Structure 1
Amino acid sequence: MKLDTLWRLGAWLAASLPNRCLLCHLSIPAEHTGLCDTCLASTLYQGPVCLGCGRGLLQESGFCGSCQRADTLAVVAPASYHHGLGSVIAAIKHRQQLAPLDVLCLLLWQRAHRLSLLGLIQLPQVLVPVPLHPKRQRSRGFNQAWLIAAELARYSGLPLDDNLVSRCLDTRPQEGLDGKARRRNLANAFSLNRPCPWQRIALVDDVVTTGATAREIAALFRGSGVAVQVWCLARAEAPGLLSEVLPD
């Protein structure tokens, strides 16, 4: 059986099955996509978090003291990767389970918009998806960061620029590597295709763990006055960090 026939058969089978939440597996209304309201609400941040490290804060203030001193990149995410979304995001990336993508992107845009209204971030002028190496993209068939950026562009009205940054090295996957190994793995992995015409950009990815990818790309803009922030579906902060609530 040909691959395209198998794909169509799989799509037909998925469409014929009852619509169920990917987390609790209970039936959900047809208009919902991938996650029930209860599971979705349980995955979201329940209080303010530091945009730099993901640590819990007593009130919305952007960055904790340590991240303010370190001039850390702002990471905008609606939820913690460890609060249920890990398996959902992994399924988007590795099994092409795209059902929850729409609602997660909407929540990400709502989070960014709220932070801008609070004066904690300045909205970017453009969305830049973190690129895959062409070999990796051919193997996977799509770039999940591009899909996320496209949904965000639809909600926000911001333009999408997918020709600004390229991945020039086919590095090994980041999963399973510690922070130091991630940084070594990504050294010189990205390049700018042309001078950046924007003053504020948002790098878009599915998840941020150590931030090594974002920092490597942000370094390309260092010295040209471009302000970089990161937008992702979930933040994989260090274990236990979110529960260490600190005053601002």
Structure 2
Amino acid sequence: MIKHSMAERALTGLVKAAQFGRKQLQALYPGVVNLLAASLPNRCLMCHQSIELPESGICSVCLVTGLYQTPVCQGCGRAMQVEATYCGTCISTQPLTIIAPCSYHQGLGEWVGQIKYQAQFSALPVLSHVLANRVLYLEEIGLLQLPQVLIPVPLHRNRLRKRGFNQASLIADALAGRLNIPVTTQGLTRTTDTRSQAGLTGKQRRKNLSGAFSLDSHFSYQRIALIDDVVTTGTTAKEIADLFEKRHIHVQVWCLARAEAPGLMD
């Protein structure tokens, strides 16, 4: 029974790797990935209907349903009638711009959460793809200038050791391949092993993250995109952005989903 359980865990690990890091696994185990892909069901995580290869994770119907259906403010996430950078409320203060393809509260958020908390990577490629599409669309209509580099929100080394991966780095790597923008993990460091932000109030989040990051004095880029899985209150993004903006470095935040304040999408 113990051997069987260990074998099941090993197979699960291979399946997860095949779903996200197919090329890397193929290099280590030639032929294994193709065998697994051919023998396992390929179904949508949301509606459980079959998906034609090479698609995976979420079918096109569920994906489109979960994406934003109207333009949204890049400041607060409020639904708007026309595509613009900021809504009427944010235009006077021009807060940190946050780019996301969907709301965390409208269907796709569950699968964004599973990336971090359950190491379930099936939805990561398709969600990264729609984020890249959103970025390219905003650039095309003149509401966004592409950055010089992508910077994943760093984990403290203790958290990284415990989790085994940084979901922001995985997203950044996926975006880099689609947008042809380099990724760097150099320069920005998480110096404090803070407790989880989940369940904290806004004030507690700010206190928890105060001084938690540092920026190398020799950082040479002038336009960056900070990459994360989800933005809620924006406390983490703002804490990091302040470090860059003090040096007159332009910051955008790109994430798979945004958890807006209640009522903004009505």
TM-score, normalised to structure 2, is 0.86
Q: What is the correspondence of 1:72-111 to structure 2 with a 5 Å cutoff?
A: 72-111=95-134
Deviation at 1:203, TM superposition (A): 0.1
Q: Structure 1 pair 13/44, CA: closer, same or farther in 2 (3 Å)?
A: closer
Say which of 153, 156, 163 aligns to 2:179.
156
The code of the aligned residue for 2:89 comes to S
Amino acid at match of 2:214: S
Report the count of equivalent residues: 243
Q: 1:223 offset after TM fit, Å?
A: 2.7
For 1:10, the equivalent position in structure 2 comes to 12
Q: How does 1:50-69 map to 2 (within 5 A)?
A: 50-69=73-92
1:1-248 paired onto structure 2 within 5 Å: 7-11=9-13, 15=36, 16-243=39-266
1:12 CA displacement? 5.4
SS of residue paired to 1:47: coil
SS in 1 for 2:125: helix
Deviations 1:110-129 (A, max 9, x none): 10111111111111110000
Cα distance in 2 for residues equivalent to 1:4 and 1:17: 19
Residue identity over aligned pairs, in percent, reads 52
In 2, the alpha carbon distance for the partners of 1:227 and 1:88 equals: 30
Conserved? CA contact 1:52–1:73, under 8 Å = yes
Give the gaps of 5 or more residues in structure 2. Answer: 17-35
Q: CA deviation at 1:189?
A: 0.6
Give the secondary structure class of the aligned counterpart of 1:191.
strand
Amino acid at match of 2:209: L
* Uncovered stretches (5+) of structure 1, i.e. residues with no partner: 244-248
Per-residue CA deviation, residues 107-155 of structure 1 (Å, 9 max, x unaligned), is: 1111011111111111111000000011001111000000000011111
Amino acid at match of 1:137: L
- Tell me, yes or no, if the aligned pair for 1:128 and 1:164 is still in contact at 8 Å: no
Distance 1:196 1:227 in 2: 13
Shift of 1:194: 3.5
| 1:202-248, Cα deviation, whole Å (9 max, x unpaired) | 000000011100100011112311000100001110112111xxxxx
> Which stretch of the first structure deviates more once superposed, 23-32 or 224-233?
23-32
- Cα deviation for residue 30 of structure 1 reads 3.0
The residue type paired with residue 149 of structure 1 is A
Runs of at least 4 residues off by over 6 Å: none
Deviations 1:182-208 (CA, angstroms, capped at 9, x unpaired) = 111111110113432111100000000
Report the structure number with the largest CA radius of gyration: 2
Q: 2:235 and 2:14 mapped to 1: Cα distance?
A: 39
RMSD in angstroms over aligned alpha carbons? 1.8
Deviates most, 6-15 or 202-211? 6-15
TM-score by length of structure 1 reads 0.92
Shift in CA distance, 21/224, structure 1 to aligned 2, threshold 3 Å: same
CA distance in 2, matches of 1:52, 1:156: 23
Q: Distance in 2 between matches of 1:5 and 1:194?
A: 48
Q: Secondary structure at the match of 1:68?
A: coil
- The answer (yes or no) to whether the contact 1:204–1:232 under 8 Å persists in 2 is yes
